Structure 1
Amino acid sequence: MGDYGRTLEFGYFLVPDADDPLLELARTADRAGLDLIGVQDHPYQRRYVDTWTLLSMIAAVTERVRVFPDVANLPLRPPAVLAKAAASLDVLSGGRAELGLGAGGFWDAVHAFGGPRKSRREAADALEEAVTVIREVWSGDRNLRFDGDHYHLKGAKSGPVPAHRMELWLGVGGPRGLALAGRSADGWLPSSAWAAPDRLPEMHARIDDAAAAAGRAPADVRRLYNVNGTITDGASEGFLRGPASQWADELTDLAVGSGMDTFILWPEGDQETQIKRFAEEIAPAVRAQVAQERGQ
């Protein structure tokens, strides 16, 4: 584990609070030059608008930024329909959608919203089945059949096919989920809040071992990171809490020393200011420092 050598990307984690200027924040991220906008998916959260509706609106009012759920709530979104929704958004946006997917959590809230209550093992089983179902629905093939314990396809017809090679990123942290990411996913999507930098080596190792066992190169798996913090003009107050120069150094270390290649800003403070500083001050500095350390 170290630097997988992948091209760096930068994004914004948009919390879908109905009281916030969500579309204007998305436009700010797009105009600032960020690559991605991710939206968390908690349908049972009364303050939030629906994630898929918001992603569709973001795609409609932006020009270049790619959008994705960060991450889609599988227990409340059947994978065949989720796959069709994601492919449809990709087609309608001109190839600007990706799919982040999680096994679920907050089971009391999921159950209150009509979803199943699953054990950790059941949730992991369902996620693995969902990956297969989603790939099948994206295939463009007819007569799709899959008989799992949680999900089924019984002669289904797929379509539309995504407009580009849509990537599937898994927001997982347990051993089984990490192995699944290594075998079957295009990317791994943890958050710094629960996958702190000192945990990354062991987690990468599980992904890499599974990738190798499946005949894949570890670098085939994108490593995205939701990073929570605040950009300030004062002294450092800890990890990702300080001036732009500190952010640039810490994200560079995460790229060349800890294997991460895509950074999704989840900022505290004034969102518009944080987005602009991340895009205009930090992203270019990290790209330059990483290129220098790679000898490019």
Structure 2
Amino acid sequence: MPERLTHKLWFGIGPGVAVADAPEVVRSVEYADRAGLDFFALSDHPYYGDRLEAYSTLALLLGRTRNITGVTTVTNLPTRPVPLLARTLSTLSALTGGRIVLGLGAGGYWDDIVRFGATRLDPAAAVRALEEAIGLVRALSGGGGAPVTLDGEFTRIAALDPAPGPAPLIWTGSVGPRSLAVTGRSADGWIPGNAADWHSDRYRSSRPLIDEAARAAGRDPADIATVFNLPARITDSAAVAPRDRSGRWLGGSVAQWITELTGAVLEHGASGFVYFASGDPSGQIGLGRWAEEIVPAVREAVAKG
């Protein structure tokens, strides 16, 4: 069994973020918590008025659940002051017993980000801002240390006390070589963008850059999880073509899902998966199949190796 499998496997859902679907979002996450799933994931696009704001939604959903972890995949860093983001995370962690993961991105929809009032950064600056933010969030956690002062390129603070709780796990949505290197040096996990999966060129070309940067920083690459978004369907019968021409996973029967995800973990180093119930026409039926049939079977198959 690969060394990476000595670490936690994450199985989650993306319940959607449409304002119009708010009651269904709550029901889906409450169900996922009862069913024993590990986390729920919310996107963060505050410039769109028809979408739920990520962190207020996280707070409500974590308050309505008992065991499941919440993560924003990924936090839109340019629209959120880092010291306030750090305080938000430490508060949510304290209130929920640590059920929070920080998903963090450098920013991708820059025209929309600028419309929201943030300053446009060029790609290189955005990556530097990402790395600075990761360091500052960690510095403002853990307690017991000296007050934190930073005269950074993007954030300046003076003598802020660290929060008492530990820093959250940090997953990035890195895409380009420079941000992938930041993930390798500094992050705990990576969420490949644009629905990339374990057979995609994006994953195959990007993951080695993370591993190389991790080793250069004296880290074990196996400590950096890869969590895949799966906007795919769970069908009643076996799909004739479960992948498209590019090789991307489209979905299929429960048995096909179990085979695919078990192979993704054992053969390709996957550490987790997000099933987007909001994008599957089968709705609650698909969510039930995910939580009650697919996830337990994959966990069992992986445990057997």
TM-score range, shorter chain: over 0.9
* 1:13 aligned partner: 14
Aligned partners of 1:25 and 1:271 also within 8 Å: no
In the superposition, the TM-score normalised over structure 1's length comes to 0.92
Question: What is the correspondence of 1:83-232 to structure 2 with a 5 Å cutoff?
Answer: 83-140=86-143, 141-159=145-163, 161-162=164-165, 166-191=168-193, 193-194=195-196, 197-199=199-201, 200-232=203-235
**Could you report, residue by residue, the CA deviation over 1:102-148 in whole angstroms, capped at 9, with x for unpaired residues?**
11111111111111112111211111111111111113234312222
Q: Does 1:233 align with 2:225?
A: no
- Aligned partner letter, 2:284: E
Taking the aligned partners of 1:240 and 1:196, their CA distance within structure 2 comes to 13
The letter for the 2-side match of 1:109 is D
Q: In the alignment, is the contact (CA less than 8 A) between 2:142 and 2:167 conserved in 1?
A: no
RMSD: 1.7
Work out the CA distance in 2 between the residues paired with 1:218 and 1:196.
17
Cα distance change of structure 1 residues 196 and 222 upon mapping to structure 2, 3 Å threshold: closer
Q: 2:83 matched to which residue of 1?
A: 80
| 3-state SS of paired residue (1:226) | strand
Q: Secondary structure at the match of 2:100?
A: coil
3-state SS in 1 of match to 2:138: helix
1:44, distance to aligned residue in structure 2 (A): 0.8
Q: Tell me the distance in 1 between the aligned counterparts of 2:284 and 2:86.
A: 32
Letter in 2 for 1:4: R
Gaps of 5+ in 1: none
Equivalent pair of 1:71/1:171 in contact (CA under 8 Å)? yes
The number of residues matched between the two structures is 290
Flag the 1:96–1:266 CA change in 2: closer, same or farther, 3 A: same
- Equivalent residues of 1:56, 1:89 under 8 A apart: yes
- Structure 2, gaps ≥5 residues long: 243-248
1:191 Cα offset (Å): 4.0
- The structural deviation recorded for 1:155 is 2.1
Q: What is the identity, as a one-letter code, of the residue corresponding to 2:27?
A: E
SS across alignment from 2:274: strand
Moved more, 224-233 or 282-291: 282-291
Q: Aligned partners of 1:283 and 1:195: how far apart in 2?
A: 17
The answer to whether 1:280 aligns with 2:284 is no
Which one is further off, 88-97 or 2-11?
2-11
Moved over 6 A (4+): none
- Determine helix, strand or coil for the equivalent of 2:19: coil
Do 1:143 and 1:157's aligned partners in 2 also have CA atoms closer than 8 Å? yes
1:53-68 alignment to 2 at 5 Å?
A: 53-68=56-71
Task: Give the alignment's TM-score, normalised by structure 2.
Answer: 0.90
| Equivalent residue runs for 1:44-59 within 5 Å | 44-59=47-62
For residues 79 and 197 of structure 2, the distance between their equivalents in structure 1, rounded to whole angstroms, comes to: 24
Deviations 1:65-123 (A, max 9, x none): 11111111000011111111011001011221111101111111111111111211121
Cα separation, 1, equivalents of 2:120 and 2:173: 19
- Cα distance in 1, alignment partners of residues 256 and 213 from structure 2: 34
Aligned residue for 1:4? 4
Displacement of 1:165 in angstroms is: 5.3
